[in-house]
Amino acid sequence: MLVSSTNMRAGLIAGLLLLAPLADAVAAPARDFGQALQQRLVGGVGTPKTDRDGQDLQILGRFYEGRKLAPLWVVDGHPTPRASALLALLQGADADGLDSRHYGVARIQTLMERGDSPDAQAELEVLLSHGALDFGRDLATGRLEPSEVDTELYMDKREIDGQLLLTKLADNPDPAGVLLPLAPSRPEYARLRTALAQYRALAAAGGWKPVPAVGVSLKPGESDAERLPPLRDRLRVTGELAADAPVPEDPALFDEATVQALKLFQRRHGLEPDGVLGKQTVLALNVPADQRAAQIMMNLERWRWMPRDLGPNYILVNLAAFGLSIFEHDKVVHSARVVVGTTSTRTPVFSRNMSYLEVNPYWHVPAKIVRDEIFPKARKDPSYLAKHDYELLANGTEGAVAVDPATLDWAHMRGLPYRVRQKPGDKNSLGRIKMMFPNEFDIYLHDTPSKGLFNRANRSFSHGCIRVEHPFDVAETILRLTNTTNWDRAKLDAALETGERTIVRLKQPIPIHITYVTAFVEDDGTVDFRSDIYGRDRKLAAAMRASRVKLDAVEAEARTAPASAPQQPANPAPGLNPAPAVSGMGSVTP
């Protein structure tokens, strides 16, 4: 966890006090290993400078105090095989998208080769323990604190017991057996790790040459001698076009094989799969291989932030991919497309438990929409509210009394003395069902009357809530996985037909995890990338740089990754034109 400089100083002082009994010989030159180790533990001299220095000195001090200063990695003046095994692990940290330089590997290697004095051996001992501690924590929980990277990430970073970790390393001759299991065990993480190696290899081999950017889009069947040969070369590198695919007799012709390969590339990158070589597609094609590798690295970090136990059954929403998946024992049993918040009403990242469904819901309209959109219309036409199934309520309580709009003096009304809700029905902006996981953001899953939005590649249109395609199929799956046996699809349909608001409480809650993942790997090994619609890659890149991740490609990816052009919402609230897309924010929990 990132800590302030004040906290680091406080931790360092506490560490010094803890080690005071060991420090009598600090001022004098070290005469033996034990004295040299005391000096290193008190002063931290030679240890890598990290955000956790003060805390780490305390942990290391307690560990070696408990061992009566007995070394773990250096015996009889020589590094042990266990030390060599740990160095190899730290040198391989890059495979997990971490930076081996953070763990002092260069200095460790030098000391292992030439460290023959008591002071050098003590430095090596402390560096190895400190490197193991840092590497283990980074593997287990990530390098960065999510909330400090982005205030829209509401994730509780886990802490691991550093003292216990060092004790396990002391009890196990194989450091890999202790440290490697700390990394996420999920297949998504393992596949991304493999993809990182693939894209690093592509980058090392030269990556791909850019496709010329020309202002005019190239459509199937058209000809372009400048763009089509490099386009085919580009698609061959990442496999969308087979390496042995024949070139047409006219290489300048945008032939069917190239069109289909481009459509596959577009699907893998979250673009409209229309086979047209347009601006956004060219931008995605021309993101270099090392920047794609950096994008994979950032998403490995995101998986390290995730809870280790997502639940036996759970719902996973990927905002960047506009998708929802329901898992039963880690196997996807249902998937759906979703619509998420716009770039100005971004859906946050968090986890909660879904506890009930609501059929034929009311929509309790947020005050801002009432003030800016609904009341101006109602002032001009007092019948406007009734036309669109809006009710005017005296207050926001569940039993609030309805107010007749015809009795109001609209011309002289000031402020917002009333609440507005939309009655259940086909006009309701939440559709016919919503799925509730109570949270402070008033975010939930819900139906929508705007079914056409699900056919868009970019589906960021809501006020923050998550609209779900085929929501009753999603609800049916949730009922089964939560053992809510007193409800089935037939009973849901019957409740829908009544037109009355009906609450369906789940027999047991099901976790739902709202995530933001811009690089992931399909089951068949296909690597998919998504645009950074909310700018969260850019924030993570900046935080990684601030924490001394010296990877220029990380920030370069965030700057140049194709972003969707601003779009007007396709489903304004009924009768409002134009108006922001609506969602269920502001609902009243029963």
Phi, psi of 568 (to 5 degrees): -80, 135
**How does residue 585 score in pLDDT terms, banded at 50, 70 and 90?**
very low
Q: What architecture does CATH give domain 228-287?
A: Orthogonal Bundle (1.10)
Residues 438 and 512: beta-carbon distance below 8 Å: no
Summarize pLDDT for 342-384 with one digit per residue, the tens.
Answer: 999 999 999 999 999 999 999 998 888 888 888 888 888 878 8
Q: What is the mean pLDDT of residues 136-151?
A: 95
pLDDT of 397 reads 72
Active-site residue numbers? Answer: 446, 465
**How does residue 57 score in pLDDT terms, banded at 50, 70 and 90?**
confident
Instruction: State the pTM of this model.
Output: 0.85
Distance between first and last Cα of the chain: 38
Q: Residue 428 pLDDT more than 60? A: yes
Distance CA 39, CA 46 (A): 11
CA angle (282 as vertex; 276, 288 as ends), nearest 5: 145
Summarize pLDDT for 85-98 with one digit per residue, the tens.
Answer: 999 999 999 999 99
**Long-range contacts, 212-219 (Cβ 8 Å, 24+):** 213/279, 213/282, 213/286, 217/276, 217/277, 217/278, 217/279, 218/254, 218/276, 218/277, 218/278, 219/254, 219/275, 219/276, 219/277
Distance CA 374, CA 378 (A): 6
pLDDT of 4 reads 37
**How does residue 399 score in pLDDT terms, banded at 50, 70 and 90?**
confident
Give me the CATH topology for the region 309-361+430-518.
Answer: L,D-transpeptidase catalytic domain-like (2.40.440)
**How does residue 53 score in pLDDT terms, banded at 50, 70 and 90?**
low
Per the model's pLDDT, the better-predicted residue between 394 and 7 turns out to be 394
Distance CA 466, CA 462 (A): 7
Residues 282 and 224: beta-carbon distance below 8 Å: no
Q: What's the mean pLDDT when you consider all of the chain?
A: 86
Distance CA 153, CA 144 (A): 12
Count CB-CB contacts under 10 A for residue 486.
10
Residue range(s) in the chain whose domain bears CATH number 2.40.440.10: 309-361+430-518
Q: Residue 21 pLDDT more than 70? A: no
Summarize pLDDT for 208-251 with one digit per residue, the tens.
Answer: 999 999 889 999 999 999 999 999 999 999 999 999 999 999 99
Q: What is the mean pLDDT of residues 556-578?
A: 40
Specify which of 28-32, 253-257, 565-569 reaches the highest per-range mean pLDDT: 253-257
Distance CA 322, CA 576 (A): 26
Please list, in sequence order, all residues whose beta carbon lies within 8 angstroms of the beta carbon of residue 157, skipping any fewer than 6 positions away.
Answer: 1, 141, 142, 145, 146, 147, 305
Strand partners, 334: 326
pLDDT of 51 reads 46
